[in-house]
Amino acid sequence: MAPHEIRRLFKRSAISNQQKRRDLALLRQAQQRADSQNRARSIATSVLSLLESSQTDDLEPVTEGSIEREEEYKEGIYFSQASRLKGSEAKKWFSRQLMIPEWMIDIPYPLSQDWYVFARPAGKRCFVVSSKGTTVGRLRNGSVLHYFPSLLPNGAKVKGLSGPTNGYCILDCVFHEKDQTYYVIDMICWRGHSLYECTAEFRFFWLNSKLSESGACNPPSRHHKYRFLPVSIYDCNQLGLHAAYMGEVPYVRDGLAFYNKHAHYQAGITPLALVWKDENCSEYFLDTDAKGQIPSQQQVALELHDDGKLTTSDEPPVEFGCLTKDILQKMDLQPGALLRFSIGKEGLRLLDGKLEAADLQYVCRVNRTRAFADSYSKILFQYMARHCPLPLKDLLESVNMPSSPENAINDVDMTE
């Protein structure tokens, strides 16, 4: 059966679960005061594995307001204590600092007014921190990718580049192996100015203006080992969407990224940033196995809990199933382990954007280098990709629609 015929078997809900999460995320963002200053300071000091506590100098914020006290990190670690972490503890802490986009299950409304779009570089997603005369890149799992000198603020021990201890820089990047370049997709801190509480619109403006001024976009040299380049970011109108999807880029394109213009930078999975792919703009439209082959059945990675529940990496996590104590003992499975399952013929049963049942078949343990289970939106996107993919023409139709709530395109229930 052709994909468009399958698509007609599924009804659309009145409002999507993902749209609700976007609305709630924006509401929380407006209601609460984030601990952005302490987060930025602790990242800059922790990345160098310093023994001393973070500097007592206050981080000068770009937005109004200040943090009156340090908020406790959800893992039970204060941001000021993070600089003392080493080894696996430091790796775990850093693995939770990146902002991770959800996968696009429905089309945001209004896409053409409130969203940016850009071509995602294929490569290794990482934090890059320049501080106290050195630059460090850390992968999404928290491990160190590179120690190197750079022309970023305080990124090399060179006269004219060094500055105050709080004059550090934090960038969200993708390292592109082919041309050995860090492509910058977001700016989190610049010369000690925290951008956590700034909108994406402001962060992208600073990214394009400040990065070129620093000389970090220059070709590699003795005191600048890797080049940094910003990605081209477009308003998500018809021209911008076409440019991101088909325009020439200096890197291998791996789908499209969509960022809400009003979104702050927040650690963890967020519905205010989205990933979308198809077979024309990504080599990895469908997930591949360790051998680079597309398995006959979709595979998912889930985290095992003390009570046997199998969940995603979302906060709160989504439960996909449960293993009995007998199975846990027989297979010698420990809580916290990541397990790989394939989705059987019964597939996923969803209603109103919520999972009701999943046909899971155990495959194996996941490689230990992996830090997190799959997110719910990724699993659902991959499931849709195999059965009823969200096509580019729907995105184009959405950006061309008149701006009215009735035209919002919601997610698919997938209930036959």
Which phi and psi angles does 212 have, rounded to 5°? -70, -35
Cβ atoms of 129 and 168 closer than 8 Å? yes
406-to-83, 111, 289, 402 alpha-carbon distances in Å: 50, 14, 41, 10
Q: For 353, left (φ over 0), alpha (ψ -120 to 50), or beta? A: left
Report the C-alpha gap between 303 and 320 in whole angstroms: 10
Pick the CATH number of 22-276 from 3.40.50.360, 3.40.50.720, 3.40.50.300, 3.30.470.30: 3.30.470.30
Q: Chain centroid to CA 165: how far?
A: 28
Domain with CATH 3.30.470.30 in the chain: 22-276
Topology of 285-388 in CATH? OB fold (Dihydrolipoamide Acetyltransferase, E2P) (2.40.50)
Identify the residue whose tokens are 């060179």: 158
Q: What is the pTM of this model?
A: 0.83
Helix 87-94 vs helix 36-46: angle between axes, to the nearest 10 degrees? Answer: 140
Identify the residue whose tokens are 């010369």: 191
Sign of CA dihedral 88, 91, 97, 103: negative
Among the listed residues 58, 46, 36, the one whose alpha carbon sits nearest the alpha carbon of residue 83: 46
Copy the structure tokens of residue 333.
């499975």
174-to-69, 94, 255 alpha-carbon distances in Å: 33, 16, 13
Interior angle at CA 277, CA 276 and CA 280, nearest 5: 150
Cβ atoms of 241 and 68 closer than 8 Å? no
Residue 18 identity: Q
Interior angle at CA 277, CA 16 and CA 139, nearest 5: 100
Q: List residues bridging with 129 in a β-sheet.
A: 136, 170
Domain with CATH 2.40.50.140 in the chain: 285-388
Among the listed residues 129, 61, 62, 127, the one whose alpha carbon sits nearest the alpha carbon of residue 97: 127
Cβ atoms of 207 and 265 closer than 8 Å? no
pLDDT averaged over consecutive 10-residue blocks of the chain (416 residues)? 39 58 83 56 58 36 34 38 64 87 93 96 95 91 93 85 69 97 96 91 95 94 95 97 97 98 94 97 90 92 96 94 91 93 93 87 90 94 94 94 57 42
For residue 121, say if its preceding peptide bond is cis, omega within 30 degrees of 0: no
